[in-house]
A and B are shown apart, each in its own frame.
Chain A
Amino acid sequence: MQIVVDLNRCQGYAQCVFLAHEVFRLGGEEALTYEPNPDDARLLQVERAAAACPVQAIVIGRSEDVTP
């Protein structure tokens, strides 16, 4: 699975860190880092994190259209 977080939009509420701590981490008080290609086994966690994000900054890939 591929994800990207719009870090201009992110305000460090850290809901994603609580819901998927293997995927999202906070450096200091509000600097978010994350694993952009998490294991598919974490899909549900990541979807919950994306849904819970107060500023809707987490984008999950919706297409399997990868380069041949």
Chain B
Amino acid sequence: MTLQATLSELVRDFKANGRIVIVGASLAGLRAAEALREEGFTGPLTIIGDEPHEPYDRPPLSKQVLKGWVAADHTTLPRLQALDADWRLGVAATGLDRATRQVRLANGEQVPFDRLLIATGTRARQWPDPTEAGLQGVYTLRSRDDAARLQQALAARPSRVLIIGAGFIGSEMASICRELDIPVTVAERGPAPLAGALGAVIGEIAAEMQRDGGVDLRCGVAVSSLDGDASGHVRRARLSDGSTLEVDVVVASLGSIRNVEWLEGSGLAAGVWGVGCDAGGRAFDINGVTTDTVYVAGDVARAPHVLYEYQFLAMEHWDNAVLGAKVAAHNMVNVEPGYRPNLLLPGFWSGQFGVNIKSVGVPPFGDQIVFTQGSVKDRRFAAAYGHRGRMVAAVTFNQGRWLEYYARLIEQSAPFPPPPPGWDRPADMKPMPAEFPEPGVSTAFPDVVLTGHDPNARSAEFRLRH
């Protein structure tokens, strides 16, 4: 038998009899499971999720769910493929033993695997003071249950909502509060909303949108403490500028924490920015060596990207969960040279204050910005981000149809500033600094984190185990 025939036989045998475990039952976990079946994998498939719900879609939670139009339990994701999977929902994975190839569950059970996909995603960063975080009326928003609780609180028409942190989720929530005609204050430590993801030049425009929308926006201000009343309900917030606010709903929107704690001791390259893996989703061990059995997809993955100087990107994006899952699933049941890369050009959207904000590429990779089309005053424009004379990202406000044009330019490493499109040129097309906060400045985290070439860069944590 030739080597090629042996390999083919191995692949065939694995597809029929291999045991695959997916930890994480959200978008990436579900789409990976479907992709595995589509790839012809017929062996036992186990899907483990810490939430009791079947996979649901998160983007609607901060929008139509919070508004009260769509019920939180109406966000179940469509199934694209019959799965015939063993679902273990409502039980978290608490450990990984790579030597015996077992996942440990919170109920003490051990689940054996031949290939493992890590898709445990992120969770909301809680308000740091546990006593204050435990006050009634203090919320975070990440899960379906979070959204249901917060929606009820908004439906009770609070006298004022305080949102701490003006990233995308915080800004979307502020927009919903105003649509519901609820008074809302947004406190952001950084210079402007969305500054971490899009820079302060765009952030200033987002700030105007918020203020025009009736938001009491306070930038460069931190919340020092939250006070409760005798019954343990939050009533007052103290700000770093000495002012106080009477509030009865507080939402901490402080970015996310990657769910990697359960991998402690597994010997994988897991840290605050996620689990390091190659562009095919194959996990690195703590020495940077690719594993053959463990794969990563979705928000928790951190992989080098060819378009961004092979820097490691951690992308909290919907399309990264979908494509990363498909790529990892394909590679789990194939062998070289059949491996596929996840070469996604990152993209996201955010609807707020009647404006559709969309982006492609990695804006924080850029240091300059130029408005290329439309009018900032009308909040209908396109802008490009550049780095060392190269175009690396673009953002549109109510100009989504132009985004593909910019995506092609980015993929071709077009020069920056880009050749002016022959339509709707703004008067001023001079590049200017994009004004991203320095790394490490406390502000809303960007949706794509440049985590550097090595685990020590950008304060990523490298935990050596003995």
Q: Does B282 contact A (CB under 8 A)?
A: no
Chain B CB within 10 Å — which of A6, A8, A34, A61 has the most? Answer: A8
- Contact status of A35 and B354, CB under 8 A, knowing A2-B79, A4-B57, A65-B82: no
Q: Does A10 contact B (CB under 8 A)?
A: yes
Query: Smallest CB-CB separation from B52: which chain A residue?
Result: A67
- Contact status of A63 and B81, CB under 8 A, knowing A4-B57, A28-B355, A28-B398: yes
Query: Smallest CB-CB separation from A68: which chain B residue?
Result: B87
Q: Roughly how many angstroms separate A31 CA and B67 CA in the complex, as a whole number?
A: 15
Q: How many A-B residue pairs have CB under 8 A?
A: 103
- Contact status of A63 and B76, CB under 8 A, knowing A12-B401, A28-B398, A31-B354: no
The stretch of B12-20, B344-352, B412-420 that contacts the partner chain: B344-352
> Which residues of chain A have C-beta atoms less than 8 A from B59's C-beta?
7
Query: Smallest CB-CB separation from A27: which chain B residue?
Result: B351
Interface string of A38-54 (1 = CB under 8 A from B): 00000000000000000
Q: Does B54 contact A (CB under 8 A)?
A: yes
> Which residues of chain A have C-beta atoms less than 8 A from B70's C-beta?
35-37
- The answer to whether B355 and A31 have CB atoms under 8 Å apart is yes
Contact of A8 among B60, B89, B347, B355 (CB under 8 A): B347
The DSSP consensus for interface residues of chain A is loop
- Contact status of A4 and B63, CB under 8 A, knowing A10-B400, A30-B398, A33-B69: no
> Which residues of chain A have C-beta atoms less than 8 A from B244's C-beta?
none
For B, the interface residue count at a CB cutoff of 8 angstroms equals 37
For A, the interface residue count at a CB cutoff of 8 angstroms equals 31
Min CB gap B300→A, angstroms = 20
Q: Does B307 contact A (CB under 8 A)?
A: no
> Which residues of chain A have C-beta atoms less than 8 A from B82's C-beta?
63, 65
The DSSP consensus for interface residues of chain B is mixed
Chain B CB within 10 Å — which of A10, A36, A64, A65 has the most? Answer: A36
- The answer to whether B400 and A37 have CB atoms under 8 Å apart is no
- The answer to whether B79 and A63 have CB atoms under 8 Å apart is yes
Contact of B79 among A10, A29, A36, A65 (CB under 8 A): A65
- The answer to whether A28 and B354 have CB atoms under 8 Å apart is yes
A residues bordering B, Cβ < 8 Å? Answer: 2-4, 6-8, 10-12, 25, 27-37, 59-68
A-B contact pairs, 8 of them (CB 8 A): A7-B318, A11-B401, A31-B349, A36-B77, A59-B80, A63-B80, A65-B82, A67-B54
